[in-house]
Structure 1
Amino acid sequence: MATISPDIVGRAMRTAIDAARVVPRTLPNPRVACVLLRPDGSQIAVGVHRGAGTPHAEVDALAQAGDEAKGATAVVTLEPCNHTGRTGPCTQALIDAVVARVVHAQTDPDQAAAGGADVLRKAGIDVESGVLVDEAEALNVEWTHAVTKGRPFVTWKYAATLDGLSAAPDGSSRWITSAEARQDVHVFRAEADAVMAGTGTVLTDDPRLTVRDADDLPLPYERQPLRVVVGETPIPEYYRVHDRVAPTVFVPGRDPSAVLAQLAEREIRHVWLEGGPRLAGAFWNAGLIDRVIGYIAPAMLGSGRAALEGEATTLADLRPIDIQDLSRIGPDIRIIGTPDAASTEEDR
């Protein structure tokens, strides 16, 4: 049987990556897509995983293909899983379908599910890995971090004026940035499986901590992220975090490592950290912020609360941010970056 050319396989992998990217959130599972190709390189089906409890991408594609899956090449963004969870192992589904070849991009970093490639080889299926691996890994940065580090990936979002202030001296902070920036925030929130704030922010602002204003990105099963409220101060029942719009967990104490350990037990992979500066400072000081998204308004306050309450005492404590994106959102500037790994504390 003639082997499908690398160019065709590469195009199929790019199709799979694009298909996986469309789903806003599959956490606690990774984003995965699978393209099935006939022996002549033509496309049979595109399967996509849409969240926990739904068919994995390979199974979705095989169901669409039916008998045409026999002798096909499966092009998958992630190594087919080799374990039984909410669904069965994709390796066995591919073996049962009698596919001839499997090409995957990222090797599965989750030890509970890894080893699928070896299982497929032992079943006589030709396996190739590493095609467009960098692009495929970019689909699941947060998930990969969580399963390899044993703690959720933390994105800290803040809004501030040009002089770095997130609240006025009287504590008022709504709204520093524009409606366009706030809508942009909801698009990012939709990709996380938990939204976190401290009790001080909740008592001051009575936030919803939910995804809104993002109708073009419907959540799988209409699931809202888990709301996480951190701190010792009780929140009265009439505050919005107690409503039924989204589930809420209250975590006493302010130790970041302990908070993330509790969330890891709940299979939370990606935490969206919002307000206030004290809680953000605790995570920053502990070296437990993995991404920073800042919205900078073209305005000055002159006095008030800084966006971050850290422990720096001298310029030697300066910690660089590696900027990945700089964009104009309405009148505001959005900055996305990651703390320089060399200047952060070792992951705990």
Structure 2
Amino acid sequence: MRLAIDASQGVRGTTSPNPPVGAVILDSFGEVVGIGATNPVGGPHAEVVALAEAGGRARGGTAVVTLEPCNHHGRTGPCSQALVDAGIAAVHYAVPDPHPIAAGGADTLRAAGVAVAVGPLTADVERGPLRAWLHRQRHGRPHVTWKFAATIDGRSAAADGTSQWITGPAARARVHADRARLDAIVVGTGTVIADDPWLTARLPDGSLAPHQPVRVVVGTRGIPSTAKILDDAAPTLVLRTHNVDEVLAELADQDDVLVEGGPRLAGAFLAAGRVDRIQAYLAPALLGDGPNAVEGAGVRTISEALRFRRESVETIGDDLLLNLIPEQ
């Protein structure tokens, strides 16, 4: 299952509207003979890719898949039937498919005499590459992460507005690696006017990553026609609104959305209850003055504080990355 998770991680951001699934085929002796991940829309799903690599060695073997094999005819045939036709004897999947049309693969497999089990590592898969897709299936809207970088006193820039660079090169490289797996990045018009960000995903050598998320600009102010975000390095969507749910409605077909700037935009998403995860990059530095990382989150007193639970803490170079999710 770890191999399947790794395979699915490698295709994050490239499979929408399909989920980024990973699959591993073991032969009848328990040896890995095929590994696959979902191709871009219209291409084969993870199980079919893994079966093609395994060939005849799949017969009598086991399939390990991050998501229940699909059970419907879409652009491709059902993966459940492909597994049956390949002579697979057992299937382990980590997460049941919540999609009302695609679900039911487990029943098809059992009816064909295939042994089916749920797990292992269900929690790892749900928190991993399938997190955003599962969230959209279950809640009907994209999964929203708010990412920010700040000093340990919560400043996102110095008093004169300078902010490059709060965090170190290792953290910035991580941000670019994560961008290359996203569906969309959202910023406000104020950030575009003040900082003129490019918002592209770049490789360590500075070149553009193969996958670029949609760049989304939110707000009613006009932005300069020369803004970097308007070039052809990646698609750009300009939304003339301040309404958070209107923004998410425009991005309804996207799974994984990142809110990146600035403090008022972050506050609006927080106040609307539309932040599903926080990625807080904290630098071991103090400024003492300057803009806060967030403004206008709707909190007036300590009892109204928006509480989050620590999911993980990572050391990245000299910086810390806190991954936080809302308290239930």
TM-score by length of 2: 0.90
SS at match of 2:107: helix
Distance 1:256 1:284 in 2: 10
1:171-190 Cα offsets, whole Å, 9 max, x none, are 33332222232222112222
1:326 aligns with 2:313: yes
1:311 aligns with 2:298: yes
300 and 243 in structure 1: CA distance in 2 versus 1, 3 angstrom threshold: same
Residue aligning to 2:258: 272
Residue aligning to 1:281: 267
The farther-off stretch of 143-152 and 291-300 is 291-300
Residue aligning to 1:246: 234
82 and 240 in structure 1: CA distance in 2 versus 1, 3 angstrom threshold: same
Structure 1 unmatched runs, 5+: 1-12, 342-348
Distance 1:107 1:250 in 2: 36
Contact 2:34 2:52 in 1 (8 A): no
201 and 156 in structure 1: CA distance in 2 versus 1, 3 angstrom threshold: same
Residue aligning to 1:187: 177
- Count matched residues: 325
TM-superposed CA distance for 1:332, in Å, is 2.5
AA at the equivalent of 1:90:
C
SS at match of 1:102: strand
Residue aligning to 2:158: 168
TM-superposed CA distance for 1:159, in Å, is 1.4
Distance 1:138 1:333 in 2: 20
TM-superposed CA distance for 1:307, in Å, is 0.8
TM-superposed CA distance for 1:272, in Å, is 1.0
54 and 158 in structure 1: CA distance in 2 versus 1, 3 angstrom threshold: same
TM-superposed CA distance for 1:292, in Å, is 0.9
AA at the equivalent of 2:112:
A
Distance 1:216 1:112 in 2: 42
Residue aligning to 2:278: 292
100 and 330 in structure 1: CA distance in 2 versus 1, 3 angstrom threshold: closer
Residue aligning to 1:57: 46
1:103 aligns with 2:86: no
Distance 2:208 2:72 in 1: 29
Residue aligning to 1:137: 126
Residue aligning to 1:209: 199
Distance 1:214 1:55 in 2: 30
304 and 83 in structure 1: CA distance in 2 versus 1, 3 angstrom threshold: same
TM-score by length of 1: 0.86
Residue aligning to 2:245: 257
AA at the equivalent of 2:313:
L
SS at match of 1:167: coil
Contact 2:90 2:116 in 1 (8 A): yes
AA at the equivalent of 2:321:
R
Distance 1:44 1:167 in 2: 51
TM-superposed CA distance for 1:247, in Å, is 0.5
1:264-284 Cα offsets, whole Å, 9 max, x none, are 1xx210111111001100000
Contact 1:187 1:214 in 2 (8 A): no
Residue aligning to 1:31: 20
TM-superposed CA distance for 1:214, in Å, is 4.5
SS at match of 1:148: helix
> RMSD value over aligned CA atoms?
2.3
Distance 1:115 1:306 in 2: 48
Please point out which of 121, 125, 130 is paired with 2:114: 125
